[in-house]
């Protein structure tokens, strides 16, 4: 049973990777309904794979990397969907929108420069950010724009990206499943 369970989180992450071309196709065709359905399924399977891996103690380096790669692809598709399907919104909110994209890309770029691969930290702040962004994407396409929620999601996202940047700058070697700066410093004995 545990062997079967061990594969489920990886299968869910693999599904998310395999879904990316279909999401890209929905964007290219301008099919908002298909886009939001596929994005929602990707976001839900992201939650499920992490929950199953943590709940049944099935976290592995391979699983963390697979999940992070699927996260990166989903993130790119989320931005691409907004750029193509919501041009007016992106134009109106271009500075916060592209600042968010840049702040997300900066720790990834630094990780590629330092360690030759993307991060797979799975910070608590990133989990919160993922939930807030997923809810924003879904509610935006289903119910419309909510300014207060956008700014909440935007602020929390920037804080999480800054935490990731600090960690990728300080960590001597890249590893997966770093909970956050507090836990990293606690491990090093700098926090009692």
Residue 189's pLDDT is 72
Give the DSSP H or E segment for 29.
helix 2-29
Q: Which of 64, 85, 106 is the last residue of a domain?
A: 85
Are residues 52 and 36 located together in one domain of the fold? yes
* Length reported for the chain: 192
Where does the chain show beta strands of DSSP type E? none
pLDDT tens-digit map of 63-80: 888 888 998 899 999 999
Location of structure tokens 């990397």? 65
Neighbours of 129 (CB within 10 A): 21
Q: How many CB atoms lie within 10 A of CB 191?
A: 11
Whole-Å CA distances, 52 to 49, 59, 125, 182, 185: 5, 9, 19, 25, 27
Q: pLDDT category, 6, cuts 50, 70, 90?
A: low
Residue 91 and residue 168 share a domain: yes
Residues 65 and 10 grouped into a single domain: yes
Model confidence at 191: pLDDT above 80: no
Kindly tell me the burial class for residue 171, based on how many C-beta atoms sit within 10 Å of its own C-beta (0-12, 13-18, 19 or more): middle
For residue 89, name the pLDDT band (cuts at 50, 70, 90): very high
Per the structure, the complete domain to which residue 100 belongs is given by 87-192
Q: What's the mean per-residue pLDDT of the chain?
A: 90
pTM: 0.85
């Amino acid at each position: 049973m545990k062997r079967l369970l061990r594969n489920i989180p990886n299968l869910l992450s693999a599904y998310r990777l395999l879904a990316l071309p279909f999401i890209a196709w929905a964007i290219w065709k301008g099919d908002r309904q298909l886009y939001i359905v596929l994005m929602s399924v990707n976001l839900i399977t992201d939650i499920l794979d992490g929950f199953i891996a943590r709940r049944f103690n099935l976290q592995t380096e391979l699983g963390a990397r697979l999940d992070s790669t699927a996260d990166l692809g989903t993130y790119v598709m989320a931005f691409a969907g907004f750029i193509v399907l919501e041009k007016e919104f992106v134009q109106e909110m271009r500075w916060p929108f592209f600042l968010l994209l840049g702040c997300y890309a900066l720790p990834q770029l630094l990780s590629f420069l330092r360690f030759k691969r993307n991060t797979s930290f799975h910070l608590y702040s990133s989990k919160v950010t993922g939930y807030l962004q997923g809810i924003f994407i879904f509610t935006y396409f289903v119910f419309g724009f909510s300014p207060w929620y956008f700014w909440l999601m935007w602020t929390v996202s920037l804080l999480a990206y800054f935490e990731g940047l600090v960690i990728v700058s300080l960590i001597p070697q890249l590893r997966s499943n770093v909970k956050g700066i507090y836990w990293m410093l606690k491990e090093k004995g700098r926090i009692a």
